[in-house]
Structure formats: C-alpha cells, structure tokens
Amino acid sequence: MAGSQSKDSISASSRVWLYSLLLTLQYGAQPLISKRLVRREVIVTSSVLTCEMAKVICALMLIIREGRLKSLFKNWTLVGSLTASGLPAAIYALQNSLLQIAYKNLDSLTFSILNQTKLFFTALFTYLILGQKQTIQQIGALFLLVIAAVLLSVGEGSSKGSHDSKDPDQILFYGIIPVLVASVLSGLASALCQWASQVKKQASYLMTVEMSIVGSLCLLASTYSSPDGEAIRKHGFFYGWTLLTMIPVLLNALGGILVGLVTSYAGGVRKGFVIVSALLVTATLQFMFDGKAPSVYCLLALPLVMLSISIYNKYPYRIKKKES
C-alpha cells in the first residue's frame, strides 16, 4: 500500500513538473513566436476566434480521454453555464483581442513584463469581490510591480529608437495601453472565475469549454459593426494567414489549458515561479533570435518584477486560528 501511494505521489509530482515546464516555455516564447509568425494583416478577431475553438477541442479531447464527458454534461444547464462563465468569457474575449494588438507593437520582453501587472489587478479584484486579504509583504510586492510597470511605460513611451523607429504614440496607444487594460480585465475575470468556482463546483476543462464558446459568441456578435467584422466580410476570415500562423494560435490555446492544469495540480505558488521563469525565457529567446539585448528600462524593471512576484508568492495570507 505504501509503495503504491509513493508511486502515485511520484507520478503526480512528475506531472506537475512537466506541466510547469511546458507552461514556462509556452508563456516565455509566445510573444516572440506571435511577433514572428503572425503577419500584421491578420485580422485580430480571426486569430482570437480560432484560438478559442482550439481550446474547446483540446478541452473536450481531455475530458473524453478521462472518460468524464457523460458525467460532466449530465447536470449541465444553460442558465448555470451563463451564470458561472458568461461575464468572465466576454471579458477574456476582449482581453485576448487587446493582447493580440499589443503583440504587434511591443518587443517581446516589454510585453511580458507589462503583462505581469495582471497579478496586481487580480489581487485587487479578489479583495473587492471575494474579500481575500493580502499580507503586508504582498502589498509591498504589488507596489514594486506597479513601480516596474510605470518605469517601463515611461521609458518605452519616450524612447524613439527602441522599436525599429516606430512612432512613440503608436507604441503607447497600440502597445502599452492595450496590454495594461488587458491586465485589468484579466484580474477582474480571474476574480469572477474564482467566485464562480466557489458558488458552483465545476471541472476546469468544462469551464474552459463554456468560456471559450461564450467568448466566441461575443466576438462574433461584435463583428457586425466592428472594423474587424468589416475586414472579414471584405477580405475573408483567414486574410493574411499562412500555415505558420496556426503555430502561435495553437500554442496560445495550449497555454490556456496548461494554466488550468498547473493551478489545479500545484496551486498559485508554482504558477508564480512559472511566470518568473518565463520572463527569463523571453529575454533569452529575444537575445538569441533577434540579437537584441534588453533595454536599460527592461533591465531595471525585470528584477523588480521577479522580486515582486517571488515575495508575493512567498508570504501568502493565512487566517489565524482562534485559541479555544
């Protein structure tokens, strides 16, 4: 019996390490791969919709593989699904669109660092919605994260030559602002998902399916009057696509599945270490493939981000037990 439990423990630990490694590589490489393989003509809505459908297929395949398809959908209701997943799905759909815009207008490491501000907004909204408190150390870590984001934003916005001679206004309004707004939306959606999981106990794969479908329907509805919708009707859904475009889209979908797996098996602490490691992966890949060393602002902001995330995960809030 003890030998069987030990084997199960080793197997679970191996899965955690595998999922963490895969998520680190995906998270760190995604900005660079998207920037290289997604042409600027590609319509943002088409890539987001394709990614969401890929998530649905992956999640359903995993549910079927585990033999839980019938049991999960037996008690499924439309009202319950919309209550738990509707609003977060719509928010994530908008967030994904903003991230696709930011990918094209920021270098990979800048994007990755600014994207970490979602930790601050997640903490803020979990406190406002769920009443989840933070320790003094965590509050200090979140302020370090904000300082890093402001430092980087000011530096990148005032730098005229660090982005291949792009207009600084374009960098600010189509790069920095979209990724920061996406971070706010990510924090809100994460808090809402956490709230939904407490009200309605639900498998992560099923929620992935629900949110992807609802988010896709929201995006489809927006195409009736959006510039992307007009572009799709004029040029076609896959305008600007090549076979290589599918690589970052599928990797993004895989990342969505991996986030759920890492959180489920290892919790938020391991996910925090994954995020820190991914920043180093991004910096390394950008130097290797673009020959571009990190800017002074990135070098100043990167250790602040790494330190803040490490502190935040090291000192979680613990409820004090009352003495009897």
DSSP calls for 25-72: HHHHHHHHHHHHHS-TTS-HHHHHHHHHHHHHHHHHHHHHHTT-HHHH
Residue 314: closest CA among 72, 136, 57? 136
Cβ contact 155:148 at 8 Å: no
From residue 279, give the alpha-carbon distance in Å to each of 3, 49, 75, 276.
Answer: 39, 27, 41, 5
CB contact at 8 A, 39 and 247: no
Tens of pLDDT, residue by residue over 180-232, are 999 899 888 888 877 776 655 566 778 788 888 888 888 888 888 888 899 99
206 with 136: CB under 8 angstroms?
no
Q: What is the pLDDT of residues 240-252, one digit of tens each?
A: 999 999 999 999 8
Domain regions of the chain by residue span: 26-314
Residues 6+ apart with CB under 8 A from 149: 113, 114, 116, 117, 180, 301
Rounded to 10 deg, the angle between the 44-65 and 87-103 helix axes is 130
Q: Report how far apart the first and last C-alpha atoms of the chain are (Å, whole number).
A: 37
Q: Give SS3 for 251.
A: helix
Spans of the chain below 70 pLDDT: 1-12, 153-166, 197-203, 260, 263-273, 276, 319-324
180: helix, coil or strand?
helix
Lookup result for tokens 């590609």: 42
Look up residue 53 and give its two tokens: 């459908």
Specify the pLDDT at position 155.
Answer: 64
Angle at which helix 246-290 crosses helix 108-115, to 10 degrees, equals: 110
- The residue among 180, 186, 237 whose CA lies nearest residue 211 is 186
87 alpha-carbon distance from chain centroid: 17
Residue type at 109?
L
Which DSSP string do the residues of 232-285 spell out, in sequence order? HHHH-TTTT--GGGHHHHHHHHHHHHHHHHHHHHHHHHHHHHHHHHHHHHHHHH
Give the Cβ contact number of residue 8 at 10 Å.
Answer: 10
